[in-house]
Amino acid sequence: MYKVVQLLFKMADITSVVIGIFDPTNVVGGLICIFLLFYIDAIIFPTVPELFTVGIFATQTQIATLWFGLLILGTIAISEVLGFCTLYYVVKKVKVPKIIQRGVDKFQAFLIYPDERMILVNRIAPIVPFLGAFASICNWSLKKSLKYTLIGGVIKYGLILLASGLFIEYWDRSTATVVVLTMIIIVIIVSFVASYYRKKKISDRGGKCAIR
């Protein structure tokens, strides 16, 4: 429990630094914040960027909701692709220790899909961290990986932004923001619970294989 609290504080610290540097109430500043939060989330540390994306989206009044939503979606796509490629090529350039390679191979064998399709599953239950590095170690196709990254990102965040836009249209912005953020928090909690039980199942199966 203490480690979870520490993790939440670190996530809040990173996010507050990014938001503190750029003005998220400004169109350009908001897009820069979103780009950096998703990029950091992809290569270094989880920042739960969807929460802050909804907040930035809901508070923006300088541009039409539809156009700003499309700009945000494009920014997220670019950021996630760059984050994925950064880790993918960094790992390709270094020599991965055999112990890490064996661990990744063993973990990959227990996944629902031991190939690029796992990127889509990871959107629902975040089982695999640092996907770019994982894909590189597993020698997944970069082209297929980026395709699934884009498809998963556009669907997930497109639905989130669409829901936000609809709520803003029928309710006031503050109420709509609270409702959407609550929905996202519930989805995140469910995703982490699903991820926890899936990892536990993989660990149990690994233990049984080791006994055999």
Please state, in angstroms and rounded to a whole number, the distance separating the CA atoms of residues 30 and 59: 10
pLDDT, tens digit, 9 for 90 and up, residues 137-153? 999 999 999 999 999 99
Q: At 39, is the pLDDT very low, low, confident or very high (cuts 50, 70, 90)? A: very high
DSSP character string of 190-206 = HHHHHHHHHHHHHHHHH
Inform me whether the pLDDT recorded for 210 exceeds 90: no
Give the model's pLDDT for residue 3. Answer: 42
Record the pTM: 0.79
Q: Tell me the pLDDT of the chain averaged across its residues.
A: 80
Inform me whether the pLDDT recorded for 157 exceeds 50: yes
Inform me whether the pLDDT recorded for 37 exceeds 70: yes
Inform me whether the pLDDT recorded for 194 exceeds 80: no
Inform me whether the pLDDT recorded for 27 exceeds 90: no
Please give the tally of structural domains in the chain. 1
Is residue 139 a contact partner of residue 172, using CB atoms and an 8 Å limit? no
Please state, in angstroms and rounded to a whole number, the distance separating the CA atoms of residues 124 and 95: 31
Long-range Cβ pairs for the range 121-127 (8 Å, 24+): 122/152, 123/152, 123/153, 123/155, 123/156, 124/191, 124/194, 125/191, 125/194, 125/195, 125/198, 126/191, 126/192, 126/195, 127/195, 127/198, 127/199, 127/202
Give the model's pLDDT for residue 182. Answer: 83
Inform me whether the pLDDT recorded for 5 exceeds 50: no
Angle between helical axes of 49-59 and 65-93 (0-180°, round to 10): 150
Give the model's pLDDT for residue 184. Answer: 80
Q: Which domain holds residue 128?
A: 2-211
**Amino acid letter for position 75:** T
Inform me whether the pLDDT recorded for 12 exceeds 70: no
The predicted model gives 37-59 an average pLDDT of: 84
Pick from 82, 71, 97: which is nearest to 42 by CA?
Answer: 82
